[in-house]
Amino acid sequence: MTDVNKLQSDLDYISNTLREDATAGGIPALYFMWGGLIAAGFSLPDFAPQLAGIYWLVAGIGGGLFSWWLGERQSRRQGVKNARMAQRYGLHWGLMGAAFLLCFLPLLLGRVSPEMGGANFLLVTGIGYGLAGVHLERPLLWCGLLMLTAYGVLVLLMPPYTWTITGITVGLSLLWAGLSRRAALRAAGDAA
């Protein structure tokens, strides 16, 4: 084999190795967990508003810590420790957490109606998940787009039980993202 052919063969081997890396992508259990937490938590203002604050205090912080722990465990099991990627995840979801807190502000100050306040959460969640799909995990892109579509419907039609509809929409889209991610992982496992 000539030097040029050997070089080409080596470069093909390296690029195939990088392409075959299946570590990128989310953990289905986290999609299912957050789908359930959000569906239940967003329904509370419609049915038990006195519980919503304490629910999110516990579920938000507890869910965040559990997600971090599960991500760390998964990463160690897969044999990959990517500090730069972990920092990107931390920054992204940290910014989303801050945006969620800011969504409460107009509601607390009475600047928006509870219906519009609920819809704002869906808008922020849709943008956050959509951008996570662009930069972190592809299944979240479609999930984010679905949430943004639901936001448009909510604002145009303003149906009753806005919070519940918001929560169920987010929950279902996360369930869908989790199922598609799990199917992709199984397909990758079967192919290996």
Partner 1 sequence: MKALSALDPLLEHRIRLGACVLLTRHGELTFARLKALLQATDGNLGAQLRKLEERAYLQSRKDFVERKPTTWYQLTPDGRSALNAHMAALRDLIDASGSAQ
Which residues bind to partner 1, rule: CB under 8 A?
Answer: 4, 7, 9-11, 13-14, 17-18, 20-21, 23, 76-85
CA–CA separation, 110 and 90 (whole Å): 31
Supply the minimum distance, in Å, between the C-beta of residue 70 and partner 1: 14
Closer residue to partner 1, CB minimum distance, 9 or 113: 9
Supply the minimum distance, in Å, between the C-beta of residue 134 and partner 1: 19
Closer residue to partner 1, CB minimum distance, 74 or 149: 74
Closer residue to partner 1, CB minimum distance, 15 or 113: 15
Burial of 171 (C-beta count, 10 Å sphere; 0-12/13-18/19+): buried
Supply the minimum distance, in Å, between the C-beta of residue 16 and partner 1: 9
Supply the minimum distance, in Å, between the C-beta of residue 2 and partner 1: 11
34: helix, coil or strand? helix
CA–CA separation, 50 and 68 (whole Å): 29
For 64, the enclosing helix (H) or strand (E) is helix 49-78
Give, to the nearest 10 degrees, the angle between helix 114-135 and helix 28-47: 170
Closer residue to partner 1, CB minimum distance, 4 or 109: 4
Supply the minimum distance, in Å, between the C-beta of residue 68 and partner 1: 17
Q: Which of 129, 112, 138, 114 is nearest to 35 (CA)?
A: 129
Closer residue to partner 1, CB minimum distance, 14 or 134: 14
The first and second tokens of residue 169, run together, are 């929409």
CA–CA separation, 123 and 138 (whole Å): 19
- For residues 35 and 171, the answer to whether their CB atoms sit within 8 Å is yes
